[in-house]
Amino acid sequence: MSKPLRAVVVDDEPLARDELTFLLGQLEVEVVGEAGNAKAALEVVDDTAPHVAFVDLRMPGPDGIALAEAIRERHPEIPVVVVSAHDDGALRAYEAEVLDYLLKPVRLDRLKTTLERVRANVKPGAGEERLDRLAVRRKGGYVVVDIDDVVYFHVRDELVWAVTEDDSYALDLTLAAVARRVPEEDFFRSHRSCLVRLSRIKSLEPSGTGTYEIVLDHPKTPRVPLARERVRQLRARIPFAG
């Protein structure tokens, strides 16, 4: 694959998520989302469309195997890897057609083998050709929008809008589909509802206890949300000096 693998990590213990995220980073895998339970995990998977989901076996509410079955039903193309401190769930996991079953503490060499299996199951470029231009319906015809002119994408009224300096255009694509197909080096998923051009981030301003809004360089100076769990990813893309 030309692009790095994208993963979602699901575990009700934050330290366990951090440890697995660190190991994945050592193997150049981008963790695009985290969750502590099955309900939140499904939302994260829907939003980010990862190449693979790593799910803890024992969690409050539906367990990892139930989550694996739900992901397979909604996204059959996304393999699931169950991670557990116990081996007594392996049979159930494989009956649910998970890709692999990892025992905690996860070893780096064992994780590397799992990722090789993930890559073998991902079809490079399938339906994910890079977007350079968009043909958007407008007044019975089409308007061609250059991706280089888009300042940000956001969800409003159940539609995805591409916003340029001069106009906004409704798209027949999900935000996750757009995020997969625009240049990764240029855009950042700040929130489940927003995808912003990194070079247009003007400032971050507090919007509540420990939360921020992104202020964009645009004639109308729009503010878009920055999800709490994505602050660390933004710090990696734009290092904070203070």
Domain locations along the chain: 6-121, 133-237
The yes-or-no verdict on residue 112 having pLDDT over 80 is yes
Element (DSSP H or E) covering residue 190: strand 187-191
Three-class secondary structure of residue 219 per DSSP? coil
CATH superfamily ID and name for 6-121: Response regulator (3.40.50.2300)
The predicted model gives 224-239 an average pLDDT of: 83
Interatomic CA distance for residues 3 and 222, integer angstroms = 30
Residue 88 is encoded by which pair of tokens?
């007594």
**Which has more pLDDT, 56 or 49?**
56
Average pLDDT over residues 40-48: 88
As a whole number, mean pLDDT of residues 133-156 equals: 90
How is residue 108 annotated by DSSP?
H
Confidence of residue 125 (pLDDT cuts 50, 70, 90): very low
Mean pLDDT of 85-98: 84
Q: Which fold has domain 133-237?
A: OB fold (Dihydrolipoamide Acetyltransferase, E2P) (2.40.50)
Least confident of 44-48, 124-128, 191-195: 124-128
Whether residue 124 has pLDDT greater than 80: no
The band of 103, judged by pLDDT with boundaries at 50, 70 and 90, is very high
Report pLDDT digits (tens) over 187-221. Answer: 998 887 899 999 999 999 988 777 789 999 999 99
pLDDT tier at 100, thresholds 50, 70, 90: very high
pLDDT category at 126 given cuts 50, 70, 90 is very low
pLDDT averaged over every residue in the chain: 87
**Of 148, 54, 135, 168, the residue nearest 100 (C-alpha):** 54
